[in-house]
Amino acid sequence: MARKILAAGNWKMNKTASEAASFIKELAESVKGAKNEVLICVPFTNLETAVKLTEGTNISVGAENMDYHDSGAYTGEVSADMLLDLGVKYVVIGHSERREYYNETDKTVNAKVLKAIEKGITPVLCCGESLEQREDNITFEWVRMQIKIALKGLSAEDVKKVVIAYEPIWAIGTGKTATNEQADEVCADIRACLREVYGDDVADNTRILYGGSVNAGNAAELFAMNDIDGGLVGGASLKVADFTTIANA
């Protein structure tokens, strides 16, 4: 089993293009030779800058969303081809903030995952339960349902290309990280679900990240857990020193 740890930053709606430029120059120096794979997912307006400034570095660049149509009358949306043309390699799909504020559903998430794979962009597929769902003891069922619907229509070979990010909603941006055990048991159950549906090869080779208040202090312990293959990092990815620690955790 050789799942390389991925430290993925999710900038959300932060940094103008000029702020991004100076940040990325500093980050590129700082994460040179980092132990883990490094990815930054940035706002659309920063993608061109980010791709240019990371050329020849160990940093990959992702978008935070994309549409599932190829082109057409979808005002305000961005297509897979638009991302590909800029040299973008990853795209976050179905983040809980998009599901909550922009009405994304398991169905649209599925359509986006299929489109990303069709176009050769790696989706970082987000899933996770709310606090109420956790208290109602339906976390495993809920997350399994999200994953099964999101991956529907992909071949086993294609599922392996997807990066899954388990992000309990109650842990995002709250400073309330899931415990190592809480995070790992859901990631393990996602892997068990992949094993049931797609078999051992997919289960053993698909990367499953944890996200939700990952920081410089807790990343190493989280990433050392059996079924956690890295992190999707919001707040702490906006600070060069913290994200560098995470990139080496």
* Positions marked active-site: 95, 167
Q: Is 213 in the site for ligand PGA (CB under 6 A)?
A: yes
Q: Which residues pair with 91 in a beta bridge?
A: 63, 123
Stretch that binds ligand PGA, among 17-25, 83-91, 142-150, 207-215 (CB under 6 A): 207-215
Q: Is 94 in the site for ligand PGA (CB under 6 A)?
A: no
Structure tokens at 192: 């068990």
Q: Is 128 in the site for ligand PGA (CB under 6 A)?
A: no
Helix H segments across the chain? Answer: 17-30, 44-54, 80-86, 96-101, 106-119, 131-135, 139-151, 156-159, 180-198, 200-205, 219-223, 240-247
Q: Is 40 in the site for ligand PGA (CB under 6 A)?
A: no
Q: Is 172 in the site for ligand PGA (CB under 6 A)?
A: yes
Q: Are 239 and 23 in contact (CB under 8 A)?
A: no
Structure tokens at 227: 């079924």
Q: Is 194 in the site for ligand PGA (CB under 6 A)?
A: no
Q: Is 62 in the site for ligand PGA (CB under 6 A)?
A: no
Cβ closer to ligand PGA: 43 or 212? 212
- Pick from 214, 222, 228, 249: which binds ligand PGA (CB under 6 A)? 214
Closest CA relative to residue 31, chosen from 249, 242, 247: 247
Scanning the structure block, which residue is given the tokens 């939700």? 212
Q: Is 199 in the site for ligand PGA (CB under 6 A)?
A: no
Closest CA relative to residue 57, chosen from 84, 80, 96, 87: 87
- Pick from 43, 128, 168, 211: which binds ligand PGA (CB under 6 A)? 211
Cβ closer to ligand PGA: 19 or 85? 19
Q: Is 245 in the site for ligand PGA (CB under 6 A)?
A: no
Residue 10 phi/psi, 5-degree rounding, is -120, 105
Burial 132-146 (b: 16+ CB within 10 A, else e): ebbeeeebeebbbeb
Alpha-carbon gap, residue 111 to 198, rounded angstroms: 19
Q: Is 123 in the site for ligand PGA (CB under 6 A)?
A: no
Binding residues for ligand PGA restricted to 219-238, rule: CB under 6 A? 232-236
How is residue 170 annotated by DSSP? G
The nearest distance, CB 63 to ligand PGA, in angstroms, is: 14
Cβ closer to ligand PGA: 7 or 232? 232
Number of residues that bind ligand PGA (CB under 6 A): 13
Cβ closer to ligand PGA: 68 or 210? 210
Q: Is 218 in the site for ligand PGA (CB under 6 A)?
A: no
What residues make contact with ligand PGA under the rule CB under 6 A? 10, 167, 172-173, 211-214, 232-236
